[in-house]
Amino acid sequence: MKGPGLFKTILNFIKITKLTIISVPLRHDTYQNALMNNPEENILTFPALFNETLRKFANKNAYAFAGEKPKTWEDVDLEIRSLIALLEENDIRKGDKVAILSINMPNWGVAFFAITFMGAVAVPVLPDFSSVEIANILDHSG
């Protein structure tokens, strides 16, 4: 399911209130390979930085929405893996471009990490852009 249906699914997945965790195993070891194939000297990649943070602070708070229980780095890891699984189920692959239409919030980061960890390209789009501006961004993103 590519196109508007997938876009609506992803928007529902990264709701403002919380991420819905789905328990779908990854078809590929994309995420694990991204985390494990980065030697210490290459720590400046997003997967390597995240893996190092997860290793050191797994049970520490990563972020929280106002009025909700804080998410730990292990929670964030599960959210990233779950979103990768959703994207893979919808035939998003390495090199594909995926728009993120969202306000600036923690779930935006989860979406960005999931997209980039699997080798796809995140295309940030702000919801206050006009439809013409959004179309222009999507047209020029490839």
pLDDT of residue 117: 92
Please state, for a pLDDT cut of 70, what percent of the chain lies above it. 69
pLDDT of residue 34: 53
**Encoded amino acid at 71, one letter:** K
pLDDT of residue 131: 85
Given a contact cutoff of 8 angstroms between Cβ atoms, the answer to whether 108 and 122 are in contact is: no
d(CA 14, CA 7) in angstroms, rounded, equals: 11
pLDDT of residue 32: 55
Tens digits of per-residue pLDDT, 22-72? 333 334 455 555 555 554 544 567 788 888 889 999 999 998 878 888 999
pLDDT of residue 115: 92
Neighbours of 111 (CB within 10 A): 26
Closest CA to 98 of 124, 137, 62: 124
pLDDT of residue 75: 93
Say if residue 129's pLDDT is above 90.
Answer: no
Greatest Cα pair distance, the chain, in angstroms, is 44
Is the pTM higher than 0.95? no
pLDDT of residue 102: 82
pLDDT of residue 4: 46
Tens digits of per-residue pLDDT, 69-119? 899 999 999 999 999 998 998 888 888 888 888 877 778 888 999 999 999
Q: What angle do CA 21, 57, 114 make, to 5 degrees?
A: 40
Q: State the pairing for strand pair 71-72/61-63.
A: antiparallel
Which residues are CB-contacts of 15 (< 8 A; sequence separation ≥ 6)? Answer: 107
Closest CA to 87 of 64, 110, 71: 110
Given a contact cutoff of 8 angstroms between Cβ atoms, the answer to whether 122 and 77 are in contact is: no
Ramachandran region, residue 4 (left: φ > 0; alpha: ψ -120 to 50; beta: rest): alpha
Higher pLDDT, 121 or 27: 121
